[in-house]
């Protein structure tokens, strides 16, 4: 082939990929149909359960050079099937209860395809048209879920071009950042000759406010995105003050008050209190009413991170757990968590419908004053039409459907906690309030010994148990049948942080039989030699204390 | 039905939506198949061309209450078809050349479905496994496209657990924010007893550096995300110094140098220079080599916003236009622009593979030290597996395929510019360097009159022409056949900002016939009475100057 012929062939090939759809009988077409027909079956058939090491997988993704020549779609698809899909994580599996993932409602897949095919850009009406009112409606619906304002309020604000009731984000982190950005810019708003922090910067703004810093306060269970936010905003991680929690993993209000006083004495002003509605690690809810009182007293912003627990508001039975959330200035809710939308959708709503004007911006070619462009009130610029999927969930599942999902999750967590309490080999390390709990492998006799142990003995035993639980979690993940995650926290009754197993029960398909099988598998894993050796050391330490343990598993 | 029966029915319905796929003959199944078989046809058939007013559309999205009861998927799908899809924007249409959208390669749709079905979360290996090495590979490939390091470099860094060559973001805004965040934290890094801006905050950091502020400098063509970034980072919009551009819409280096001196005299330190590789409005490239020299001289960060123009590097013929980009400390490239990936994928790469450690963070339950979790080096937390689509584009289209797309776009812009120059009724207002240009309706005799006009005459005529072009753009958009966007800028030869029409030529399906039809339609639109009345006023003003215009269109 001459080079001119080659060029023409490339050009034809190029037009083809833009104009000719994959044939149904092609490799990619067949996968596409298989997913349409039965996504659960597809995932089950194609994801290899047994773990390959990450280093091994990396070998398939080690070339840093972009291929010179085009590849046939079918060849590429084979590669994806064998090397990517096969070694992905089956996040939708009912036994995958370690992270905040779930099976998705089936309609999310074809609706996602509509979204992708339309490829709207929500930054401006000119590239999204009806998607802009749709997104505004979704923001209003979630605003109403939290704040319960009346019809007149929403009639006034829902489509108001100068304002937005909230911001649609790629996730909870951007939502939390947006909330604290708004809080900072509102506290340091223009007044008199001071033109505001947005224009003059933080150093001058602090001079203007005559204080040495701004602090954000919450509990140690706060999400790590708060650390990113306070760094990004220039406030400094030193001023992210995370106080201890009580036995129920809720912020210790006395300590919170005392830290506020300390800061004020140091001439550091509390910018915001952050309450958590569903901590990532234990699923607990801070005392939001009391926090709202304190925020009012301090005249500071009150943000609630309800990324996980927000949808609890759907439930007539459990929404009381979040009482006080309606007093928050801003609330984060992740749609890709308990709204069952695919990855990449977070939302922040603001009590005051004009709050987002603190970060408003414009440009000559879009986001013009008076336009309805949503991009003038978001941190992100170009954004996809993910709001469709939230709208679909709210419409198709409905308030009552979500209520049922929430209720089921919370009740399942209660019954799993009971299963753990009854089991002679496990120790519940946090009582579930919503649908998240933690526990660890720690046979009853060891629990008894620990209650009698002195500080040094207890710390030596816990160190060994940490290793046991770490190995247990790793081996279970690698076996690929079921999955729990792990974290470290100060469990009820212990002075030091211990390694615990973490379970999130949001997948409606994770039933009691699955939960039983998780524990049963763990009992089998601990029989492995490396873990048994550690347990023998635990046994010896317990014998010193005077309570020789015997494992019911073994 | 008793309430217990009703509850059981809801529960069954709920399980169904998680376990039973849409039937192929269902409303949603049928749409799904139609999109699979022929997305172009689907969009053509379902998007209504003629514009409904946004206020009218809002009526369909005006309820703020979340529906109590579930809705049938088919009913919801009908709603989506009639009220959302019908009134979306046909961003893929070859005549939609006003914004940075394009038809997508067909394989993107089924691959997007695989991505959605797998629903991986890239924040951590435990919920993404093979997707993590894949994303790292994509980052390395784009890093190499920009920086052209050798194999040894990439072998060392590509899968290094402590570092990342860049960050995958939801878009260019987060990418630019990440770049400037890294720049700020590196300049104000821990040293001696100072623990760095990340911990101590910006006010103390500036004291430590003994300066009164940090500035970011670039040209007036800079993207509006820079304003958001500098506000967010606490530096203040006053310190975003955007200087004038030369006749080719490139930053005026003399002015840039003079502004740097002014700032230094005011004890404000230049934090970063931002060069643009493909300005949003005119597609021009700043003199990157000269900017790199200046940045080196000032010892400041050099960021290149190549969100649009980055893929020009694929072209052997045109990559020289971006010469100097390899000297940038960080570079933003949007995958949802000229990598032809669906909305929501931006990337920032860093020359120094350890740069992102300036914003590194960890948490107890994920992002543990030594883990390969990508989330420890990204602003965002949970993120979808969009990297698959970039990987697919790079693999299937290949370097040469992208080269062809880039070359075609640039050559098409040249030929459209020529078409405009030859046309008696239009004036080219910026010469295309890449594949973006601006022009306006301004008949030749008016152009001649403007050259003879004094300041006041010229400003009166331009004011009228602004109205003409604004109406023209609006009417064309509403007619729904073709679309150009508009902005305001100081066009070559004019003192004041004028309203211009903006065209982006990235869709390979936008051929010469389409471009001709765009101009032809515009010539018809100006015949409308409201525009003719404005043009008569222009004519009268031109007559005063002594050059009566006659429109070739009319």
pLDDT for the residue A223 = 96
Name the minimum distance, in Å, from the CA of A543 to any CA of chain B.
32
Q: A68 vs B400: CB contact, 8 Å cut-off?
A: yes
Structure tokens at B261: 């001196």
Q: What is the 3-state secondary structure (H, E, C) of A468-532?
A: HHHHHHHHHHHHCCCECEEEEECCCCCCCCEEEEEEECCCCCCCHHHHHHHHHHHHHHCCCHHHH
* Partners of residue B159 in chain A, C-beta under 8 Å: 55, 58, 61-62
Smallest CA-to-CA distance from B495 within B545, B526, B455 is with B455
Contact predicate A146/A313, CB 8 Å: yes
Which pLDDT tens digits describe chain B residue by residue (554 residues)?
Answer: 677 788 788 888 889 999 999 999 999 999 999 999 999 999 999 999 788 899 999 999 999 999 999 999 999 999 999 999 999 999 999 999 999 999 999 999 999 999 999 999 999 999 999 999 999 999 999 999 999 999 999 999 999 999 999 999 999 999 999 999 999 999 999 999 999 999 999 999 999 999 999 999 999 999 999 999 999 999 999 999 999 999 899 999 999 999 999 999 999 999 999 999 999 999 999 999 999 999 999 999 999 999 999 999 999 999 999 999 999 999 999 999 999 999 999 999 999 999 999 999 887 766 777 889 999 999 999 999 999 999 999 999 999 999 999 999 999 999 999 999 999 999 999 999 999 999 999 999 999 999 999 999 999 999 999 999 999 999 999 999 999 999 999 887 788 899 999 999 999 999 999 999 999 999 999 999 999 999 999 999 999 897 655 554 54
Residues of chain A with pLDDT under 50: 552, 554
pLDDT for the residue B4 = 79
* Partners of residue A64 in chain B, C-beta under 8 Å: 137, 140-141, 143-144, 151, 154, 158
What is the DSSP code (8-state) at residue A386? T
End-to-end CA gap in chain A: 71
Buried/exposed code over A385-395 (b: 16+ C-beta within 10 A; e: otherwise): bbbbbbbbbbb
pLDDT for the residue A554 = 43
pLDDT for the residue B554 = 43
Separation between Cα atoms, residue B549 and residue B540, nearest integer Å: 9
The closest CB to that of B202, out of A99, A101, A203, belongs to: A203
Give bridge partners of residue B144 from the DSSP assignment: none
Contact predicate B472/B523, CB 8 Å: no
A517-530, pLDDT tens digit by residue? Answer: 999 999 999 999 99
The closest CB to that of B66, out of A86, A130, A141, belongs to: A141
Q: B28 vs A110: CB contact, 8 Å cut-off?
A: yes
Separation between Cα atoms, residue A134 and residue B59, nearest integer Å: 10
Give bridge partners of residue B169 from the DSSP assignment: B346
What is the DSSP code (8-state) at residue A326? G
What is the DSSP code (8-state) at residue B495? S
Name the minimum distance, in Å, from the CA of B185 to any CA of chain A.
9
Q: A364 vs B126: CB contact, 8 Å cut-off?
A: no
Smallest CA-to-CA distance from B311 within B330, B288, B335, B287 is with B335
Question: Minimal Cα distance from B407: which residue of A?
Answer: A11
Neighbour count for residue A140 (Cβ, 10 Å): 28
Q: A398 vs B37: CB contact, 8 Å cut-off?
A: no
Question: 3-class SS at A73?
Answer: helix
Name the minimum distance, in Å, from the CA of A309 to any CA of chain B.
16
Beta strands in B324-481 (DSSP E): 330-334, 346-350, 426-430, 436-441
Angle at A140 between CA A136 and CA A143, to 5 degrees: 135
Q: A14 vs B60: CB contact, 8 Å cut-off?
A: no
Separation between Cα atoms, residue A507 and residue A97, nearest integer Å: 8
Name the minimum distance, in Å, from the CA of A541 to any CA of chain B.
27
Interface test with A, best of B344, B430, B500 (most A CBs within 10 A): B344
Q: How far is CA B392 from CA B105, B119, B137, B398, in A?
A: 10, 17, 12, 9
Q: B120 vs A89: CB contact, 8 Å cut-off?
A: yes
The closest CB to that of A61, out of B19, B121, B134, belongs to: B134
* Partners of residue B134 in chain A, C-beta under 8 Å: 61, 84
Name the minimum distance, in Å, from the CA of B59 to any CA of chain A.
9
Q: Where are the alpha helices (DSSP H) in A266-372?
A: 288-298
Smallest CA-to-CA distance from B349 within B307, B391, B381 is with B307
Name the minimum distance, in Å, from the CA of A295 to any CA of chain B.
23
Contact predicate A163/A150, CB 8 Å: no
Residues in chain B: 554
Interface test with B, best of A382, A403, A469, A507 (most B CBs within 10 A): A382
Structure tokens at A9: 């062939």
Question: Minimal Cα distance from B105: which residue of A?
Answer: A18
What is the DSSP code (8-state) at residue B80? I
Contact predicate B142/B347, CB 8 Å: yes
Separation between Cα atoms, residue B117 and residue A42, nearest integer Å: 9
Rg (CA), chain A: 26
Question: Minimal Cα distance from A84: which residue of B?
Answer: B130
Residue given tokens 């046991």 in the structure block:
A468
Could you tell me if the ipTM is greater than 0.90?
yes
The closest CB to that of A21, out of B15, B37, B118, belongs to: B37
What is the DSSP code (8-state) at residue A436? E
A238-250, pLDDT tens digit by residue? Answer: 999 999 999 899 9
Smallest CA-to-CA distance from A97 within B127, B262, B292, B132 is with B127
Question: 3-class SS at B122?
Answer: coil
pLDDT for the residue A548 = 54
**Sign for the pseudo-dihedral over CA of B366, B367, B372, B376:** positive
Question: Minimal Cα distance from A511: which residue of B?
Answer: B15
- Cβ-based burial of B148 (10 A; exposed 0-12, middle 13-18, buried ≥19): exposed
pLDDT for the residue A362 = 83
Rg (CA), chain B: 26
Q: B137 vs A61: CB contact, 8 Å cut-off?
A: yes
Contact predicate A248/A290, CB 8 Å: no
Separation between Cα atoms, residue B541 and residue B253, nearest integer Å: 38
Q: B388 vs A84: CB contact, 8 Å cut-off?
A: yes
Pairing of strands A485-489, A498-504: antiparallel
Give bridge partners of residue A304 from the DSSP assignment: A275, A331
- Give the H or E element holding residue A141: helix A131-147
Separation between Cα atoms, residue B220 and residue B223, nearest integer Å: 8
A270-298, pLDDT tens digit by residue? Answer: 999 999 999 999 999 999 999 999 999 99
Structure tokens at B477: 């958009």
Tell me phi and psi for residue A348, to 5 degrees.
-125, 135
* Partners of residue A17 in chain B, C-beta under 8 Å: 105-107, 396-397
Q: Where are the alpha helices (DSSP H) in B362-454?
A: 387-396, 398-422, 444-452
Smallest CA-to-CA distance from B332 within B215, B174, B188, B544 is with B174
Interface test with B, best of A13, A37, A88, A188 (most B CBs within 10 A): A88
The closest CB to that of B10, out of A55, A233, A404, belongs to: A404
Q: A398 vs B71: CB contact, 8 Å cut-off?
A: yes
pLDDT for the residue B371 = 86
């Amino acid at each position: 082939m001459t080079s001119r012929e080659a060029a023409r062939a490339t050009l034809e090939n190029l037009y083809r990929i833009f104009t000719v759809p994959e044939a149904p009988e092609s490799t990619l077409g067949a996968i596409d149909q298989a997913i349409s027909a039965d996504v659960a079956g597809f995932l089950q058939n194609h994801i290899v359960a047994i773990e390959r090491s990450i280093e091994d997988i990396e070998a398939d993704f080690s070339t840093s050079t972009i291929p010179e020549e085009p590849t046939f779609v079918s060849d590429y698809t084979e590669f994806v099937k064998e090397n990517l899909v096969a070694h992905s994580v089956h996040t939708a599996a009912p036994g995958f209860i370690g992270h905040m993932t779930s099976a998705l409602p089936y309609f999310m897949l074809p609706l996602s395809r509509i979204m992708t095919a339309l490829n709207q850009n929500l930054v401006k009406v000119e590239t999204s048209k009806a998607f802009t009112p749709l997104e505004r409606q979704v923001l209003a619906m979630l605003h109403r879920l939290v704040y319960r304002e009346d019809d007149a309020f929403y009639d006034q604000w829902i489509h108001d071009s100068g304002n937005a009731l909230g911001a649609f984000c790629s996730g909870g982190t951007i939502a939390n950042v947006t909330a604290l950005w708004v809080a900072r810019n509102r506290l340091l708003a223009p007044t008199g000759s001071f033109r505001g922090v947005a224009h003059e910067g933080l150093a001058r703004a602090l001079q203007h406010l005559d204080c040495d810093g701004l602090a954000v306060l919450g509990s140690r269970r706060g999400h790590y995105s708060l650390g990113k936010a306070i760094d990004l905003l220039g406030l400094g991680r030193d001023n992210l003050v995370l106080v201890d929690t009580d036995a129920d993993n809720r912020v210790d209000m006395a300590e919170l008050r005392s830290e506020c006083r300390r800061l004020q004495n140091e001439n550091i002003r509390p910018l915001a209190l952050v309450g958590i509605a569903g901590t990532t690690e234990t699923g607990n809810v801070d005392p939001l009413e009391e926090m709202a009182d304190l925020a009012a007293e301090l005249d500071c912003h009150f943000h609630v991170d309800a990324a996980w627990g927000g949808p609890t508001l759907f439930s007539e039975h459990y929404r009381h757990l979040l009482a006080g959330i309606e007093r928050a200035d801003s609330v984060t809710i992740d749609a890709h968590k308990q709204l069952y939308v695919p990855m990449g959708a977070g939302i922040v709503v603001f009590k005051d419908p004009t709050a987002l004007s603190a970060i408003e911006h414009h440009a000559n070619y879009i986001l013009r004053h008076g336009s309805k462009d949503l991009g003038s009130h978001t941190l992100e610029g170009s954004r996809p039409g993910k709001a469709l999927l939230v709208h679909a969930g709210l419409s198709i599942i409905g308030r009552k459907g979500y209520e049922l999902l929430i209720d089921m999750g919370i009740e399942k967590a209660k019954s799993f906690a009971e299963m753990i309490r009854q089991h002679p080999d496990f120790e519940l390390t946090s009582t579930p309030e919503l649908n998240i709990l933690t526990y660890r492998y720690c046979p009853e006799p060891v629990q008894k010994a620990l209650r009698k142990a002195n500080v040094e003995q207890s710390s030596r035993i816990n160190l060994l148990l940490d290793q046991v639980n770490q190995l247990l979690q790793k081996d279970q993940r690698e076996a690929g049948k079921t999955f729990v995650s792990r974290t470290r926290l100060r469990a009820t009754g212990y002075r030091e942080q211990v390694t615990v197993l973490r379970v999130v029960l949001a997948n409606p398909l994770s039933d009691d039989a699955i939960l039983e099988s998780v524990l049963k598998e763990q009992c089998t894993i601990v029989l492995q030699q490396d873990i048994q050796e550690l347990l023998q050391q635990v046994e010896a330490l317990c014998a010193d204390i005077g309570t020789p343990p015997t494992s019911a598993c073994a």
